[in-house]
Amino acid sequence: MLADQYMKALATVGESGIGWIDALFKLCVIFLVDLADLLGITYEEINIYIFVIIWPCLTLYQTIRIVFLKSRLRKQNKVQASL
């Protein structure tokens, strides 16, 4: 069963022509298949969770946090400049 998941997932791998990128991608696919099996979900589900839900949420959070911290830093620099 797990071997079928590996073959199905690896069949989606395109050949970029750059050896190290292809090798790294295949390694990541194998890791995701193993993680999905450990969690009792499919490879497709773990892809959705990571790349459609978790990644965008983290990107949005980090963007908001950076804007907040830059604003705080500007205020702090203004206070120090006035001293």
Query: What gap in Å lies between CA 21 and CA 58, rounded to an integer?
Result: 24
Residue 65: both structure tokens together = 């946090």
Instruction: Work out how many domains the chain is built from and give that number.
Output: 1
What share of the chain in percent tops pLDDT 70? 99
Contacts of 16 (CB under 8 A, 6+ apart): 22, 25
pLDDT tens digits, residue range 48-77?
999 999 999 999 999 999 999 999 999 999
Cα torsion through 56, 57, 60, 64, rounded to 10: -170
Summarize pLDDT for 21-32 with one digit per residue, the tens.
888 988 998 999
Residues, the chain: 83
Those residues whose C-beta lies under 8 Å from the C-beta of residue 46, and which sit 6 or more positions away, are 32, 35, 36, 39
Per-residue pLDDT, 55 = 97
> Which domain does 38 fall in, by range?
2-82
